[in-house]
Chain A
Amino acid sequence: MSSHSTVPSPEITLAPKHDNSGVKRIWQVFTLLSIVTIVELVMGYAMTKQAGWVDKSSALGMFFVGAICILSVAKAYYIVGVFMHLGGELKNFRLTIVTTLALFIWFIAAFLMDGNSWKNLKNTNAGSREAPKTENAIPAVLDKNAKP
């Protein structure tokens, strides 16, 4: 464990803080990312038509989708925090990044709700009729009830 304190640039007043437990930590995070990816894949595979273990629209399916999203954010946290070493930077610098990225919370929520509302408006002619029972758009030629 050599402790080099070479200052990369004259702008920097403090020597860079490298914890040289480095290599071990890198492999720990690699193992963690791999395990999380495998868990995601197992849940994703369970919901495929080919496997047919879990129906995506069932309660368990919804839970799986939510869990996969949360696990992806956890992966992002470890990549940014350890591999990109943001966890080791000064707190104020960290905040300039993290607070800005917090805009994504609004960004995702607002747009997904908008998409969902758009779907409801289309299905009900802006609320003027009942939503059709069929989930899939059927080509006219296949629709036995369609008038020629």
Chain B
Amino acid sequence: MSATTITSNTKWWNGGRSPFDISYGKVMMWYFLMSDAFTFGAFIISYATLRFSMNSWVDANQVFNAFPGLHGADLPLAFVSLMTFILIFSSVTMVLAVHEGHNMNKKGVEKYMLWTILGGAAFLGCQAWEWTHLLTGEHFILSKEGVLTALNTTPSHNPWGIDHVDKAAVIGALPKASPELLTAMIHEHNHAFNAQGLGTAQLVEEATKLVNAGTVHVGSQGPPAFGSYFFGITGFHGFHVFSGVVINVIMYLKTKLGHFDQRGHYEMIEKAGLYWHFVDLVWVFVFLCFYLV
């Protein structure tokens, strides 16, 4: 260490000087992020513990296989890869903004902060689409009690159990199903079908044909904890992304107004950058635990 540059009467730890040679604010940002890492860690480890305690879990590649604009596509990992690269790229533009700040280049900081904000907003847009797709997409399932229902993926509903249940069991459950459900089931594959004035018996007959032909897909219920953990953890992460975007917008405006030039340094950009990289860091593990393995 360059001890020679320190005047001999410097009283380390005696107040007024940072023992770690970084400002108080940056040290505290690091310690905040460390505590936040434990919060995220606790959530993810709780999810993993529950998953380890189950004989079967949800196959993520059946759940996350959609892509905006490609209706009915079966593309596992595709959309989440896009989200991952958006976040890595916005991390790079953030670190470039910090670099420009070191060089006191106001225009450079502004440019890269805008790119970072754009990346964060794009990520949030992707997440909004993904959530909407899961929350609104209904899937036919045969419950443990032998009742046919249509379920969407929510914090308490999980239609992602066994992929295809036995045809005979489905046909056996059809007469007990509500006319609305039967109509929805038929409409999914035959849009021209007119259910007006048809009795339950005729609907059952039509639905039986579709089930026998293998066109109607009926699964079973999966562990409901899947939705709670997925929406809880990605929601908590998404909330961090959102607050990171808000912080970055404030940093952009403060740069634009020349506050950091007046102060003589761009350290605030570094602190916002630490937060932003942390968001990217957490996503590495969310991506690992929910989508990859």
Using known A-B contacts A30-B92, A79-B281, A142-B169, determine if residue A136 contacts B56 with beta carbons closer than 8 Å: yes
Residues of B within 8 A of A112 (CB): 45, 48-49, 52
Query: Which residues on the A side are within 8 Å of B24 (C-beta)?
Result: 9, 11
Q: B220 near A: Cβ within 8 Å?
A: yes
- Write the A97-122 contact mask toward B (1 if CB under 8 angstroms, else 0): 10011011001100110111011001
A141 B146 Cβ-Cβ under 8 A: yes
B169-A11 in contact (CB<8A) = no
Whether B27 pairs with A93 at a CB distance below 8 angstroms is: yes
Q: For window 21-39 of chain A, which residues contact chain B by CB distance below 8 Å?
A: 22-23, 26-27, 30, 33-34, 37
Q: Chain B interface secondary structure, helix, strand, loop or mixed?
A: helix
A59 interfacial contact with B, CB 8 Å: no
> Using a Cβ–Cβ cut-off of 8 Å, how many residues does chain A contribute to the interface with B?
73
Instruction: Find out whether the CB atom of B6 lies under 8 angstroms from the CB atom of A23.
Output: no
Asked if A50 and B21 make an inter-chain contact with CB atoms under 8 angstroms apart, the answer reads: no
Q: Which residues of B contact A75 (CB under 8 A)?
A: 284
A127 on interface, CB distance cutoff 8 Å: no
A104 in contact with B41 (CB, 8 Å) = yes
- For residue A97, which residues in chain B have a CB less than 8 angstroms away from its CB? 30, 34
Which listed residue (A26, A48, A93) contacts B92, Cβ 8 A?
Answer: A26
How many A-B pairs have beta carbons closer than 8 Å: the answer is: 201
Does A55 have its Cβ within 8 Å of any Cβ on chain B?
Answer: no
A136 and B55 contact, CB distance less than 8 A:
yes
Interface-forming stretch among B59-67, B185-193, B202-210, B247-255?
B59-67
Q: How far is the CA of A20 from the CA of B287 in the complex (A)?
A: 32
Taking the complex as formed, is A126 at the interface, i.e. its CB lies under 8 A from any CB of chain B?
no
A10 to B92, CA, bound (A): 29
Give the docked Cα–Cα distance between A8 and B95 (Å): 17
Chain A nearest CB from B39 CB (Å) reads 12
Once the chains bind, are A140 and B144 in contact (CB under 8 Å)? yes
A33 — which chain B residues lie within 8 A by C-beta?
88
Q: Please tell me if B239 contacts chain A, counting CB pairs below 8 Å.
A: no
Closest beta carbon of chain A to B181's beta carbon, Å: 16
Bits for B51-92, please: 1 = Cβ < 8 Å to A, else 0.
111111001011001000000001011000100110011011
| Complex contact B77–A23 (CB within 8 A) | no
Q: A115-B53, A116-B53, A136-B55 are in contact. Are A93 and B20 (CB under 8 A)?
A: yes
Q: A44-B293, A83-B91, A111-B49 are in contact. Are A12 and B22 (CB under 8 A)?
A: yes
Does B49 contact A37, Cβ atoms closer than 8 Å? Answer: no
Shortest CB-to-CB span from A118 to chain B, Å, is 4
Binds A, one of B96-104, B122-130, B149-157, B226-234: B96-104
B-contact bits for A68-96, CB 8 A (1 contact / 0 none): 11001001100110111110011011001
A27 CA / B165 CA spacing, docked (Å):
50
Contact B99 A23, beta carbon cutoff 8 Å: yes
B23 and A12: CB pair below 8 A?
yes
8 contacting pairs across A/B (C-beta < 8 A): A9-B25, A44-B292, A48-B61, A48-B76, A83-B273, A112-B52, A135-B55, A141-B145
Known A-B contacts: A11-B24, A65-B293. Give 7 more (CB < 8 A): A8-B265, A9-B23, A26-B96, A45-B76, A83-B94, A100-B34, A136-B55
Minimum-distance CB pairs A-B, first 5: A115-B52, A141-B146, A115-B49, A93-B20, A9-B23
